[in-house]
Amino acid sequence: MSKNLISEIAKMLGVEIGEEFKVNEYAEMTFKFTENMLVARADFKGAKWGITYVVLSELLGGNVEIIKLPWKPKKGDVYFTFELLGGKWVVRSFWWGGFPNEYALLDKGWVYRTCEEAQAALPKVAAEIGVDYEL
């Protein structure tokens, strides 16, 4: 029996197991690697995941490119965003609860997977809206 290489292939392609992504030549589909295969689903409500060998072959052959999607936390995930503290904007962590204000932050692009990503974004955001910040 040979070794399962899917996790290594996903890593080489710059995605994680379970991370959803697009492929440039298949805009109407969303893809993800599972522990054992590449699966896809059509972008309409109720579509189910199915195995796709053709796109896997095209990815491995360098014929198509992965388009990464913005990260979206799941309930209970830690995320980083901005908060007003002492008259300055700072980076702070929260647990995702799926509340309306969190979706507003997500739509604005102000939800980050890591503290480093949020800290890198804060100076530009603060400059755009004219507020003081502290890292």
Beta strand ranges found along the chain (DSSP E): 21-23, 29-33, 38-42, 50-51, 66-68, 78-85, 88-95
pLDDT per position in the chain (135 positions), as tens? 689 999 999 999 999 999 999 999 999 999 999 999 999 999 999 999 999 999 999 999 999 999 999 888 999 999 999 999 999 999 999 999 999 999 999 999 999 999 999 999 999 999 999 999 999
Residue 33: CB atoms within 10 A of its CB come to 23
Tell whether pTM > 0.95: no
**What pLDDT is recorded for position 71?**
84
**What pLDDT is recorded for position 9?**
95
Distance CA 72, CA 82 (A): 16
> Quick one: how many helices (H) and strands (E) in the chain?
4, 7
The half-sphere exposure of 9 on its side-chain side, counting CA atoms within 13 A, is 19
Calculated CA dihedral for residues 50, 33, 73, 45, nearest 10 degrees: -10
**What pLDDT is recorded for position 2?**
85
Residue pointed to by tokens 């901005």: 82
Name the 3-class secondary structure at 13. Answer: coil
**Residue 17 and residue 35 in contact, taking contact as beta carbons nearer than 8 Å:** yes
**What pLDDT is recorded for position 1?**
61
Distance CA 101, CA 114 (A): 19
